[in-house]
Structure 1
């Protein structure tokens, strides 16, 4: 402990870290700015039995918490990660907060399990972040978060309410094969590359309010109503299934609260409805020219029936 200074390397791999030890380490590396400053930081396989107050700390090197277990509340509020940060296979037994945290290089939360409430509101990832196969038993919020490149949520499981309001993604928001037990509210959101909900399963309804070039829900299953309020996007609903009404509308005005890129004006286009299963599909202000439509057998001759498709506005 006497050798620790701000910016020192800390290695607590496999150690059970009581609160007094964590506080002593953080006090020893606290700089003149009042923030703890660590160099290379290793908590792999560590167990933190009490609440972990890591708010405001700065990791100037790479950090790894792989396989760590937080038995109390874990607070990384306003933390700074200047190197790569890995929280792979971490167990958060209670609430976990990364509110306002900053990640300057790649971050991984793959296979992490969070039992309590998880808060990533206002967090900033300057490059990619991966939550592949993560499990959120409680509610999770990414409201006002910003992703510098891809936001990878593939095959993640969301047992509580999931909220992504006022979010900006510089490339792709990826939710392929993700599962949502209590609905998904995606937006207001800007995804400059696009949004993928391919093969996702949503219970409790889906609400997408976004500006993006490409949105796909190919093979998605939504138990409940689904609403897509979009700007600019090409939307693909091929092989999607909705137990309730699915509505698609083009938003003529900019989405308040999120900064859209300077794209040339473009309306929303539906690209495919092949094998789409919905009790009713409502489209408003949407371009259907070039859309791959199902050809249902005609009843007694004549044109194919598409009674499940209702057009409104300038569709």
Structure 2
């Protein structure tokens, strides 16, 4: 209502500078309380008794006039004023206004009132609402040691000074939507109904230390120029909502209690976020939040999900969290970051990493600034599991001491520059002699589950399995990442996985796949020394057996020498008979002497030397083959050992 609108009450007839006073007439008089003459005012005040209703809407007030009005309403014994319902809407106070030691049986309303100074309410209790909606206060507003049994209405109030809302309890709702003030203090207040600060503007700091919000609190689109302190605050039932809030300073939630979660979606936070010792019983969301100068978040302990999806971190930040799940989908880090996690499943899908970002599993519990260990109720699995890095440019990503058994790598780029530090676990194949022990990617597990079934981990709902042609480059890039980090033994399993995917890739040529099958069968791609040695022993055994049965002659040929002499010179010619193939039963060929000769032939063949032994035609060709095959098998075995121990 503007000053030119006719009021909704009987209007005072007093004219001041040509304008009619908006004050409400008193009783049958034609003037408001401020414009009654002395005798009329005295008569009216004398008629008042404790418990009377007051209606002085639009009346101009001073502190002395207010004191005169309340004097007849005070109990003689206690000195406290007792009022029924009090309507002071649109009143105009000159200077400060003080209300002390008053009991309102009903509401007390100062809606749209204008105060030339501050408003100080001390030791006041209202049986109904306390209203300051749309009021204009040139100074501070203090409510000290006050109780409000009904609602507290501060809609669109404009307070140029500080608001100190030290109310013991608000029995129902507390509405501060659209309010503007300097500093705001709500320490220790208990709000039994819904509390809303949506759209409020606090030009200084805000303190809610020890406050209790029974039905939760809404701080959507609130703007706080300084820090916001919620140490020891309790948010029951409906939790807390800070969606769209703009907090320029730190946000402190030490020892706070969130019974139903909290959301900071779309919020802009200028300083640090402290959750030291806070107890969160549900999820916490920071979706699309912007952290302008945040250097530290946490330690945050949450038995549910902490969601940083689409959030933006503008400066270097340290994030400490112990949670069931931490989501960083499409999160953007415009500076360095250290994510120190406990228990959590960390999802980094499509995150934008512009500077080095480290995701590390923390083995020790977080501690408070006082050095006390922070409890972690509801969290049992101590592994930190990274579930996805798909869509991430991994050039600046570091994963340390995390579980990668379920991590999705397909669609990530620059995986060859990914750094894996500490002990990063990957899923093994199913137990049993069919599958070699090695580290495998989750995507290979998903593909093999579609092909071989039991023992391999199937893809979770919503995840499409990828074939060998897609997985081979992923293994190759991860292998290079470990090799560049001087961890060639650790890269061996990734090389094995790469070769496996190439062997199973239907897009590869048949000749390439055949060659890879042979390489796999002989030595496990040069990584399985036992397999190569087994083939070597088998080849040597077969060579020895063939030599004993067919390769050694029946007997060593005796050379025969013949010569001539001419009296001065002797000429000798030695002829060696051709080796005779062995004859007789096979059992008579398996003699110790023949075994010793066969072993000598095989031993020389392994080191690529000729034995010098007389052999049959079959034996000669077998030795040639052995000199080619057996050194190669020995070389594969040595290569496999080297690949496992090289530094």
Q: Give TM class, smaller chain.
A: 0.7 to 0.9
CA displacement at 1:63 relative to structure 2: 1.1
Residue aligning to 1:205? 316
Residue aligning to 1:5? 103
C-alpha distance 312-281 of structure 1, shift in aligned 2 (>3 A)? farther
| Structure 1 Cα separation of the partners of residues 105 and 209 of structure 2 | 23
Q: Does 1:269 align with 2:385?
A: yes
Retained in 1: the 8 A contact 2:389–2:412?
Answer: no
Q: Counterparts in 2 of 1:98-137, with a 5 A limit?
A: 98-127=208-237, 128-137=239-248
Deviations 1:57-114 (A, max 9, x none): 32111111111111x3211111111111011111112222112211111210111111
Retained in 2: the 8 A contact 1:226–1:242?
Answer: no
Q: Does 1:29 align with 2:125?
A: yes
Q: Does 1:241 align with 2:352?
A: yes
Residue aligning to 2:161? 50
CA displacement at 1:314 relative to structure 2: 4.3
CA displacement at 1:162 relative to structure 2: 3.7
CA displacement at 1:184 relative to structure 2: 4.7
Tell me the C-alpha RMSD between the 2 structures: 2.5
Retained in 2: the 8 A contact 1:189–1:258?
Answer: no
Q: Counterparts in 2 of 1:1-315, with a 5 A limit?
A: 2-3=83-84, 5=103, 9-16=107-114, 20-21=118-119, 23-24=120-121, 26-29=122-125, 35-38=145-148, 39-70=150-181, 72-127=182-237, 128-256=239-367, 257-294=373-410, 306-315=416-425
Instruction: Say which SS state the counterpart of residue 151 (structure 2) adopts.
Output: strand
Retained in 2: the 8 A contact 1:29–1:37?
Answer: yes
Query: Structure 2-normalised TM-score?
Result: 0.44
CA displacement at 1:305 relative to structure 2: 5.2
Residue aligning to 2:441? none
Retained in 2: the 8 A contact 1:167–1:187?
Answer: no
Instruction: Say which SS state the counterpart of residue 123 (structure 2) adopts.
Output: helix
| Structure 2 Cα separation of the partners of residues 202 and 311 of structure 1 | 24
CA displacement at 1:158 relative to structure 2: 1.4
Q: More strand per residue: 1 or 2?
A: 1
Residue aligning to 2:531? none
Deviations 1:248-302 (A, max 9, x none): 22222333343212443341111100111344322222111121103678xxxxx
| Structure 1 Cα separation of the partners of residues 107 and 395 of structure 2 | 59
Instruction: Say which SS state the counterpart of residue 306 (structure 1) adopts.
Output: helix
Instruction: Say which SS state the counterpart of residue 265 (structure 2) adopts.
Output: coil
| Structure 1 Cα separation of the partners of residues 236 and 386 of structure 2 | 32
Retained in 1: the 8 A contact 2:268–2:290?
Answer: yes
| Structure 2 Cα separation of the partners of residues 313 and 121 of structure 1 | 37
| Structure 1 Cα separation of the partners of residues 111 and 222 of structure 2 | 18
Q: More helix per residue: 1 or 2?
A: 2
| Structure 1 Cα separation of the partners of residues 344 and 105 of structure 2 | 46
Deviations 1:178-212 (A, max 9, x none): 00110252211111111000000011123221211
C-alpha distance 8-306 of structure 1, shift in aligned 2 (>3 A)? farther
| Structure 2 Cα separation of the partners of residues 313 and 18 of structure 1 | 68
Q: Any unmatched runs of 5+ in structure 2?
A: 1-69, 71-82, 85-101, 128-143, 368-372, 426-647
| Structure 2 Cα separation of the partners of residues 16 and 141 of structure 1 | 34
Deviations 1:144-189 (A, max 9, x none): 3221111110000113444333332211110000001102522111
Retained in 2: the 8 A contact 1:164–1:185?
Answer: no
Larger RCO of the pair (alpha carbons < 8 Å, separation 6+) = 1
Query: Structure 1-normalised TM-score?
Result: 0.87
| Structure 1 Cα separation of the partners of residues 359 and 156 of structure 2 | 47
| Structure 2 Cα separation of the partners of residues 262 and 156 of structure 1 | 28
Instruction: Say which SS state the counterpart of residue 244 (structure 1) adopts.
Output: coil
Residue aligning to 1:300? none
C-alpha distance 138-305 of structure 1, shift in aligned 2 (>3 A)? closer
Deviations 1:3-56 (A, max 9, x none): 4527854444444456643x23x432299xx83110211111112222222235
Residue aligning to 2:498? none
Retained in 2: the 8 A contact 1:35–1:58?
Answer: no
C-alpha distance 90-14 of structure 1, shift in aligned 2 (>3 A)? farther
Retained in 2: the 8 A contact 1:125–1:146?
Answer: yes
| Structure 2 Cα separation of the partners of residues 242 and 266 of structure 1 | 26
Deviates more, 1:205-214 or 1:193-202: 205-214
| Structure 2 Cα separation of the partners of residues 93 and 255 of structure 1 | 34
C-alpha distance 105-19 of structure 1, shift in aligned 2 (>3 A)? farther
